[in-house]
Amino acid sequence: MADHPLLVAMRPVASALGALLVKPRRMIEGDIPLEWEGEVVGGLRLPDLTEELSITISRIEQNLGAALAQLSREQKQQAVRLLEDRGAFALRGAIEDVADAMGVSRITNYNYLPAIRDTPDRITSPR
**Predicted local confidence at residue 122, as pLDDT:** 45
Of residues 102, 97, 28, 90, the one with CA closest to residue 64: 102
Please give the model's pTM, rounded to 2 decimal places: 0.58
pLDDT per residue of the chain (127 residues) written in tens, 0 to 9: 358 999 999 999 998 778 899 999 999 999 999 999 999 999 999 887 777 888 889 989 999 999 999 999 999 989 998 998 888 888 788 899 999 999 999 898 888 876 666 655 544 434 3
Nearest Cα neighbor of 31 from 101, 113, 107, 41 is 41
For residue 34, which of 4, 54, 12 has the smallest C-alpha distance?
4
Q: Dihedral, CA atoms, 38, 41, 42, 43, nearest 10 degrees?
A: -10
Backbone phi, psi, residue 37, to 5°: 50, 45
The predicted pLDDT at position 121 comes to 52
* pLDDT attached to residue 32: 96
- The pLDDT value recorded for residue 123 is 40
